[in-house]
Every structure is written in C-alpha cells, then in structure tokens.
Structure 1
C-alpha cells in the first residue's frame, strides 16, 4: 500500500473520506499513476472501519477530463 500520493489527496475526518484527483493543469486527466493511486486509496478506505462515507472529487474546474491522451500517444 502506498503511504503518500503524488496525483491525489486523501483526507479523513468524522467518518468521511475525501479523495481529490489533484492534476488541475491537465483537467485531472486519468493516467496510470492516478488510477493506481485511486485504487490504492479506496482499498485503504475499504479496510478502515472508521470510514462510513467516501467522496471522490477533482481539484480545479474539472472532475476528470477522461483518459490522459499524452500518455496514450506512444500506443
């Protein structure tokens, strides 16, 4: 399990988990790192009996622009 994240933030307070995709310069486009970190944090949340509610949001003006096309170009 990852202990720190580069592309998301995670907060936990009053039984509520707040996960924020934090790539506002790319409109929170989803790349492999974001997906791995989101999967990791939600696995962590799932095991934490002190969390009753999870919220997933995006930093800035977009929730998520979809797939990160720049990452997909070589394919």
Structure 2
C-alpha cells in the first residue's frame, strides 16, 4: 500500500486538488464520495488531515470509515 506524507495528505483537501482524503489511525481514506464532505469540509473538520484525535468529539464511532476506501497509509513521524 502506498505511503503518503502529511504534506501530501494536506493537498488532498478538496480545495487544492479534487481529491478529498482524511487519515484515521494511520489509514488514509477517500471520502470524496460522501455528500457530507462536499468541498473538503465536514462540520468543523477539514479534509487533508489526520482526524484520529478529533473522533472523540464526533457523534459517531470509527465504524463510519468502513464505507470508505483505504487508498494508502500515513507516514509515521
């Protein structure tokens, strides 16, 4: 599976490029098919970031990522 840096992920924010990606627990997901991520925004969250620390504030569990395709892994620091 392809490894992406945080800088590469940041470009997939729905603004700089058409891709809308987010990372969670080291996996990178393509969330562009979700109407809830239109323009790279989902409530107070932005695409192109690692959302792992933000999930605790979400009204849903990590199971929400099951419906999205993993397209790569986030490079560890």
TM-score normalized by the length of structure 1? 0.25
Q: Based on CA coordinates, which of the two structures has the bigger radius of gyration?
A: 1
- TM-score for the superposition, normalised by structure 2: 0.25
